[in-house]
Structure 1
Amino acid sequence: RLHRMATRDPLTGLPNRTQLHERLRASLQEAAVHGQAVGVLYLDLDRFKLANDSLGHRVGDRLLQMAADRIRACLRASDLAARIGGDEFVILLPGIESRESTEKVACKLMQQFREPFVLHEQDGIAGEFFFTVSIGICLAPQDGLDAGQLLSQADAAMYQVKEKGGNGYNFYTPNLIRRYERRLSLRNALHRALEERQFVLHYQPQVDLHSGRILGVEALLRWKHPDQGLVPPMEFIPALEESGLILEVGKWVLETACRTLRDWEDAHLPPTLHVAINLSGRQMQHPGLAQEILDALHRHRVPPRRLHVELTETLLMEHVEAGRNILHSLSEAGITIELDDFGTGYSSLALLRRLPVDVLKIDRSFLEGVPGDGGNETIVRTIVEMAHTLRMRALAEGVETLEQCRYLAGLGCDAVQGYLISPPRPAGELLPLLREEYPLPECRITAQGGHRAREG
């Protein structure tokens, strides 16, 4: 019994990491003697963490038990499946005949997970749940004979599947381990960044084109690395999404934005100023998101009308059903909804009419060469007219010149954001600008002259 406790996962009954290493080393030794191959498959459930967090650990545990049963059903008597932590499993295929035979096992596993997981009331919740899997594969002796190295290689191959959206399998190649090590290093650094408060928010003003007044700001996440300085968002935000850390960072962004609004109200800044925060795909899949946002506003005594939430058009299309419920809950509470990067996705007019979107943000790519680029001018004019037809406001981002400002004002665009007005800055540096009643009269249609804004 003691041996079983030391070598078995108590939840699923599968071998644990300890027994996996023992069996893998023994299989490698036997394979070397008999000239056989050994297959190692590293399997991870896609988006399981989100289900576990939203449905509760009791339901999550039951799903893991069912997943273990499905994995067992795909294996020979001589094979071994182990749970090595969380939603990660390793399948050991000793004496496998060929690469193609290993591939067949991977396909069989993926087929098993295409069927819904059916839960009943006694499981904690009733319903059908769907999961896909990401599988990384390596083979001994081709990829090496060290047990730890083989597991790392299969893990690296699995993460390449994750990067492509999951629901697939991939064989290890030598260049993957270098990418895996860089990604692991980045993930560890992001964990430290959250613990050591290295994340900061910078704010970029949004200006009303009719009055020249600042309407509010967009909160933009920055990573103040102790050695590298400010790290560009595109270098770390995808890693936050992939690792699931984006949920914790998203909560921090929400709390910090609400705290900033409270500070501005205490400093007697205009009560109409808002802060817009960006929502991620992971957050949009979290059923408790709307209540989480409302609770934060209540804690900081901030009126809901002073918070805007932004999501990209592409993100909305990926999460239409979940997004609709969340956005309606937020809108009914008085929170403004902004649709970011509009024009780069595939949303339809019919969908937009059914959603409580208040602002369409024109993607910065459409302002390139404007005024003057006939194609982009047509797109910008169409988006502004569409927004007004749907009783929404149009906001152009990435504005860098007074010529662009005057052109947009002439189209009836409602607001602008970009380096012409200000680069994203810490809240304290923006205070003098926010205190002015008409800080940017030159951005109105009556402005004369033009120049390119500095990007510093």
Structure 2
Amino acid sequence: MTPSEFVIATLLVQGLAALVLAGLLWMFLRSLEHHFLRQLALAFTALSLHLGLSAVNLVLTTNEADLFGAHEALLFAETISLLAFLTWLVIGMQSALKQQPLAPRTERLLVSATVLFGTALGGGRLLVADDPLLANLFRVSVPYGIAAIVFLWLGWQMNQVRHRFPALISPVLGTAASVVAGLLMLYSSVLNITSDASVRPLFHIPFLSLISLMSLTFIGLSIVIWLLENEQERARTAKVKALSAEQRLLYFRTHDAATGLPNQRQVENLLSQEILRTRASKDRRVAVLALGIHRFKAVSEAVGWHHTEDMMRDLTRRIREKLPERFILGRTGERDFIILMPNIRRREDAVGHAEKILARLRLPFHHGAQEFFLSVSGGMSIGPDHSDDAAVLLTQAHRAQLQSPPEARELMLHRTSSMDSGPGDLVHRETELRQACREGQFVLHFQPLISIRKRSIAGFEALLRWHHPTQGILGPDHFLQDAASLGVLDELEDQIFAQAMDQLAEWHGDLALAPVSVSINVSAERFQQPTLTDKLVEMCRTRGISPGYVDVELTEAAAITDFEAGLDTVQRLREQGIKVSLDDFGTGYSSLAHLQRLRVDYVKLDRSFVQGIEHDEQQLALTRAIVELIHSLNMKVLAEGVETRGQLGHLIQCRVDFVQGYLLGRPQPAEAYHDLLEHRYISTF
């Protein structure tokens, strides 16, 4: 075999190796979905093309043949493909090492610049075609000089990785192979300055061709090994984060993020335990004191929303200071606290403790030099006198607190003649609810869901309100539980679906508005009904709405009431194009294993993740880990309860996809958002 034939064979083998590596990278791209794999796959596809063209050109040069003037065209394509390989290699490796994709516009500009530069080299070679030395300079020395710089840069970058991760094999292989390839290209570039243009100096020594083949092989091998090592490390890190996140989720499911107090769920569990203890002693009672803060918005605006949680922590400390050790303090809402008083002998003892607590809260609070007062009212229920069910006792205490005049800051004791105790009152409540359904007193308000990436409105969540004829606008906390227990919920939810679909059809029918989606909350009872999917699809069809713009929101509790049936419902909804969101993630009963099996489209982080994110590094780290885990399951993340720019900034850093909260828009009637929908972009960003 002559030297030229050996070099041609070596080129073909290198081209085939580059093509195989490109195929592997394209295959990895389909399964791993790393942003840099596409650039690396394009790079080695271009290299395979370059090596194949080099072999053909060498055949033409050796045989002194030029079929129909193809030689110059092949030389031009050879140069362009080499420069394209180097450009995509730099883009891909830079993106991989920094774990951040290059902007598509920047990538297009770099590729365009590469084509223009290659065209300039080809044109320059044609202009100096009569001078073999200059022609060879444009053809080989300049491109190979650039290649030498790129490979030496790659070797330096891989060496940095080797120092950071000494246990990995791929950086060692990559560093050595890249440096050898860079020195080889540099030698070839310098040698061409004084070489005969008729023979390419890199290939006139077969030994150098063999070194080139080996360096390319080791570079490809190091990339494949690096991908495997990277996935292994990601899997190990994800497992560690999952375990840590699961442990912290167990805590945050039962505790308020800002104050560390037991939350609604935990308070109910603790109250159930105390009720069981009272059954063993006839003279023992457990009292439930609900505390509600009035003028909360005015005070929060006075101290600044970002200091509101600090104020809540101060309030917590003040309550705890004189609280008996056996008493349990919990936070059940943004402005609501619960105190459990076990081992109470007489009702008067519980009332005395409650009045002392309210008296302490009447003292002024201080924020810097500013003095302000909180208006706090209290409501109390006593078990088992009023009920032996924890949920009922909590509801009774809360309703008594709502009945307490805020100006008087009084304690209101639950009365057994209240609305929820007698059958006559239940009948009256049912009559009210059914009349409200008939007369259209239930309406929807809409709160915008903002896309972080587009910085615009992506859709709205439909929120139910009751325009009560005497009590004004009521939120679902005031009537939804009664509607469920009295059998009115199905009729009410049908109205919610119809109103939400009608509004969506109106938005989509307005050609001046870009399409938006609407999220509808579904109860656990309705979610378990097998007709849910067919009903929603039919409502979309009759209104001419694409199901892809409808999002069904279900809570964790609804999802696991009958988990296997829930899986089927989620699958049927998604098969019809309807999106599914898991609401209030982190506060219910589901685990990450449940989340993985549910395969919903969106996960809504509970506001407890957002409240402490500005001041608590651990909370921020947990939120970032949860978002990363949800993304690894190919689901999007929506964070609700965003009220400050600081919270928004941290959520952007955590790579949350969508946000919702008072900072970006309060629940309002649909017409209030018409002008904003025409522009869609949110000035808050």
Please give the residue correspondences for 1:3-402 in structure 2 after superposition, counting only pairs within 5 Å. Answer: 176-178=416-418, 179-181=420-422, 182-402=425-645
Q: Does the residue aligned with 1:292 lie in a helix, a strand or coil?
A: helix
Q: Does the residue aligned with 1:180 lie in a helix, a strand or coil?
A: coil
TM-score (norm 1): 0.57
**Match for 1:180: what amino acid?**
S
Alpha-carbon distance in 2 for matches of 1:379, 1:279: 28
Going from structure 1 to structure 2, the CA distance change for 1:252 and 1:358 (only over 3 Å counts) comes to: same
Q: Does the residue aligned with 1:442 lie in a helix, a strand or coil?
A: coil
Q: Does the residue aligned with 1:424 lie in a helix, a strand or coil?
A: coil
Q: Does the residue aligned with 2:684 lie in a helix, a strand or coil?
A: helix
Task: Report the alpha carbon displacement of residue 370 of structure 1 after superposing the two structures with TM.
Answer: 2.0
**Match for 1:225: what amino acid?**
H
Alpha-carbon distance in 1 for matches of 2:590, 2:449: 24
**Match for 1:328: what amino acid?**
Q
CA deviation map 1:308-361 (0-9, x unaligned): 010011221223122111111110011111110001123223322222301110
Q: Does the residue aligned with 2:600 lie in a helix, a strand or coil?
A: coil
Residue in structure 2 matched with residue 115 of structure 1 by the alignment: none
Task: Report the alpha carbon displacement of residue 398 of structure 1 after superposing the two structures with TM.
Answer: 0.5
Q: Does the residue aligned with 1:275 lie in a helix, a strand or coil?
A: strand
Alpha-carbon distance in 2 for matches of 1:269, 1:200: 25
**Kept after mapping to 2: 8 A contact 1:331/1:356:** no
Aligned length: 278
**Kept after mapping to 1: 8 A contact 2:520/2:553:** yes
Residue in structure 1 matched with residue 654 of structure 2 by the alignment: 411
**Match for 1:389: what amino acid?**
S
**Match for 2:654: what amino acid?**
L
Alpha-carbon distance in 2 for matches of 1:236, 1:329: 30
CA deviation map 1:385-438 (0-9, x unaligned): 121111111110000011111110011111100000111010111111111142
Q: CA RMSD in A?
A: 2.4
Going from structure 1 to structure 2, the CA distance change for 1:163 and 1:363 (only over 3 Å counts) comes to: closer
**Kept after mapping to 1: 8 A contact 2:501/2:539:** yes
**Match for 1:319: what amino acid?**
D
CA deviation map 1:132-161 (0-9, x unaligned): xxxxxxxxxxxxxxxxxxxxxxxxx9x987
Task: Report the alpha carbon displacement of residue 265 of structure 1 after superposing the two structures with TM.
Answer: 1.2
**Match for 1:442: what amino acid?**
T
Alpha-carbon distance in 2 for matches of 1:227, 1:343: 37
Task: Report the alpha carbon displacement of residue 176 of structure 1 after superposing the two structures with TM.
Answer: 4.5
Bigger relative contact order (CA 8 A; separation at least 6): 1
Structure label with greater radius of gyration: 2
CA deviation map 1:82-122 (0-9, x unaligned): xxxxxxxxxxxxxxxxxxxxxxxxxxxxxxxxxxxxxxxxx
CA deviation map 1:147-186 (0-9, x unaligned): xxxxxxxxxx9x987976xxxxxxxxx9655332444433
What residue ranges of structure 2 are gaps of 5+ in the alignment?
A: 1-384, 393-413
Alpha-carbon distance in 1 for matches of 2:656, 2:683: 16
Alpha-carbon distance in 2 for matches of 1:380, 1:250: 33
Task: Report the alpha carbon displacement of residue 193 of structure 1 after superposing the two structures with TM.
Answer: 0.7
**Match for 1:431: what amino acid?**
H
Alpha-carbon distance in 1 for matches of 2:574, 2:646: 35
Alpha-carbon distance in 1 for matches of 2:388, 2:670: 38
Alpha-carbon distance in 1 for matches of 2:488, 2:639: 30
Aligned-residue sequence identity (percent) comes to: 37
Point out the structure with the larger helix share. 2
Alpha-carbon distance in 2 for matches of 1:306, 1:344: 27
What residue ranges of structure 1 are gaps of 5+ in the alignment?
A: 1-156, 165-173, 444-456
Residue in structure 1 matched with residue 353 of structure 2 by the alignment: none
CA deviation map 1:271-309 (0-9, x unaligned): 531000000011022221111111111111110011001
Residue in structure 2 matched with residue 69 of structure 1 by the alignment: none
Alpha-carbon distance in 1 for matches of 2:630, 2:512: 29
